[in-house]
Amino acid sequence: MKINWNYIKTFLLIGVVFFLFAFAEKRNHNRVLSEVNLHFTNSENLYLTEEAVNKLLIQNEVKVSSIGKETLDLNRVETLLEAHDMIENAEVFMTVDGKMGAAITQRKPLARVMGRAPYYMDRNGLKMPLSQYYSARVPIVTGVSEDLLPEVHPLVSYIRNDEFLTKHVTELNRLSNGKYVIRLRQLDFVVLFGAVSEIETKFMNFKAFYQKAMKDKKLNAYKKVDLQFGDQVVCTKK
């Protein structure tokens, strides 16, 4: 009987192809996450580190070196990350080669609130703990308890969104009558801002006063500048 080697070769080739396909499928199924690629979307200042994020995942039994990609709950990881005091938002994803990635947006502090236990107020007006990794250069707020953060937030937010005010304002102090006093960098006078109202008008008036006083070289001639009288700026000389 004559053996048809062409048929045998064909069957062997088909068998090898099926074996390789099955092997690759099994390997892909068992592939584990070998590393976490972190990206901080606002990474100019790091209030937490990659090491801190990885530690958080490990503590919550998200062992990326031993979890198959089919069993990893990305939503759970996002929830864990967003529960961190320094994280505002997290988007977790997994690449085709079995690596987990996370785009992390940190919370952004606007001011440091002083008290028995100092803390930050973030850009959403919420309490944010200080970081062990970085100290933010933000204005100091005194005389404010946590329940008053919604009151002071519009004022601080306006300051932080204005280049001129960000450069000059160093401290805001809330008096017992609910009015605010503002202190400036390298200037002797204080600014009586009053209640948190008419913010834009008051600061426009202050900028106009500042430019005029600087032009006249009289910035150091005053000890108090009062912005509480509508369109007027009332100054008290030394």
CA 190 to CA 192: how far, in whole Å?
A: 6
pLDDT of residue 7: 54
Specify the fold of 109-237.
Rossmann fold (3.40.50)
Q: Crossing angle, helix 149-160 and helix 199-215, to 10 degrees?
A: 40
The CATH class of 36-106 is alpha beta
pLDDT of residue 226: 96
Q: What are the residue boundaries of the structural domains of the chain, listed by start?
A: 36-106, 109-237
> Mean pLDDT per segment of 10 residues, for the chain of length 238 residues?
52 50 42 59 74 75 52 75 88 76 89 95 95 91 96 97 96 96 92 96 95 91 91 88
Residues 6+ apart with CB under 8 A from 41: 103, 104, 105, 106
pLDDT of residue 53: 79
pTM: 0.76
pLDDT of residue 35: 54
pLDDT of residue 137: 92
